[in-house]
Amino acid sequence: MQFREGAFPDHAEKSVRNPASAYTDPSRFEREMERLFRARPVPLGLSCECRDPGSYLTGRIGGVPVAVVRQEDGTLRGFVNACRHRGAPVLSAQGDGLRSIICPYHAWNYRLDGTLRARPLDWGFDDVAKEDCSLLPIAVAERYGLVYGDLDADATIAIDALLEGMQVELAEYGLEGYTHFETRSREWDFNWKLVVDTFTEPYHIPSLHRRSIAKDYDFRNSIWDTYGLSQRTVNFRSTIDVELAQKPEAERRLLPHTTIEYYLLPNVVLTHQIDHLELWRALPIRVDRTLVTTSLYAPAPPQNDSARGYWKKNLDLLLRITENEDFPMMAEIHRGLASGAVKELIYGKLEPALVHYHRALDQLLAEPSQPQIASR
Ligand code: FES
Ligand SMILES: [Fe+2]
């Protein structure tokens, strides 16, 4: 598959250069953790991952482990995911059916609202008031099926302000009605931003993915729109030709023939692909180490083995491509950057989402009190 003449009509005004240190400098990494993650609300997941009372998801905000739990009254509460006894994570991955939160280390027992219910051999702690041992709260909010968290427990999270207008389109998906199928996680030796970078442009598909998915894409067009610092890209699948040729305009459907990506600052990509949703979370561990989680959501609960098999095959394919082709390349790139020999990266005009993403991060880093924070 080759690019055709006139591809990428949506492009950036000019190419930009980003110094390697944006990916490798530990002091920049610390600043990112502070300003991009700990000082503002960040996306944690989708509401449908924790739909019923007692269901939960876990994540990290700038290195701080967090958990979000659906309460009996249907609201969400969030906590630092660390037991008040000796700091063990009280929850892991995602799950449901909790009646209490029981720490796996010594079985301290918390209510879903994070208050401590009981401690085994409580006499051993009778000089430590239970009231002082609640899980530490964080602020959480959900809207349009998205869950955001803020380490400042008193923060009011203005999701509309964070999405900067992108919510109008996002709302139409009805994200809250999707079913979380499965999440898989893996740690990689590269900077967290490289995860997002790899999704921002289809330019690499004909070469890096020439033996796998290149044939499935059509590069005559690619749509890119910005919403303040946020953005969305639309890339077309090869099947779009048949749709255009065979259906009258009023009957044409876009979604089954596209890969649409919404960039949720700072570290999450929400993708609608053909018939399902994906969420890619890049959770920074160190400047050169990142936990990548990949979640797949189906439009309806799978009713039988064949439906489950279909979604499993989809997730297997996604990870086969990213874990064999994209992410190993990112790890090599990081090694080159860290070696000191590669001084800068070039983001071309035809990689507008890449340019915009890094501009957005730089702006947030430079202006910690930008509008979203001011409106809290
Ligand atoms: S660390 Fe949780 S009960 Fe001990
Ligand atoms: Fe790719």
User: Is 4 close to ligand 1, i.e. is its CB under 6 Å away?
Assistant: no
Please give the single-letter amino acid code of residue 275: D
Which ligand 1 atom is nearest residue 119's CA?
3
- What is the chain's mean pLDDT, rounded? 94
Which residues, listed in sequence order, are joined to residue 80 by a DSSP beta bridge?
Answer: 66
User: Is 106 close to ligand 1, i.e. is its CB under 6 Å away?
Assistant: yes
Which residue among 91, 92, 103, 125 has the greatest number of ligand 1 atoms within 8 angstroms of its CB, and so is best to mutate? 103
pLDDT of residue 8: 57
User: Separation of 273 CA from ligand 2 center, angstroms?
Assistant: 14
User: Is 104 close to ligand 1, i.e. is its CB under 6 Å away?
Assistant: no
Say yes or no to pLDDT of 191 above 70. Answer: yes
What average pLDDT does this structure show over 217-227? 87
Chain-centroid distance, C-alpha 246 = 36
E runs forming strands in the chain:
16-19, 42-46, 56-61, 64-70, 76-80, 94-95, 101-102, 109-110, 116-118, 137-143, 146-150, 179-188, 217-227, 230-237, 258-264, 268-273, 276-286, 289-298, 344-347
User: Is 105 close to ligand 1, i.e. is its CB under 6 Å away?
Assistant: yes
What average pLDDT does this structure show over 132-138? 98
Tell me the C-alpha distance between 204 and 68, whole Å: 36
User: Is 133 close to ligand 1, i.e. is its CB under 6 Å away?
Assistant: no
CB-based burial of residue 248 (10 Å sphere; 0-12 exposed, 13-18 middle, 19+ buried)? exposed
- 9 or 250: whose pLDDT is higher? 250
User: Separation of 213 CA from ligand 2 center, angstroms?
Assistant: 9
Model confidence pLDDT, tens digit, residues 294-333: 999 999 999 999 999 999 999 999 999 999 999 999 999 9
Model confidence pLDDT, tens digit, residues 36-72: 999 999 999 999 999 999 999 999 999 999 999 999 9
Residues 6+ apart with CB under 8 A from 350: 7, 8, 11, 12, 201, 203
Which ligand 1 atom is nearest residue 88's CA?
1
Tokens 């996306």 belong to 43
User: Separation of 253 CA from ligand 2 center, angstroms?
Assistant: 24
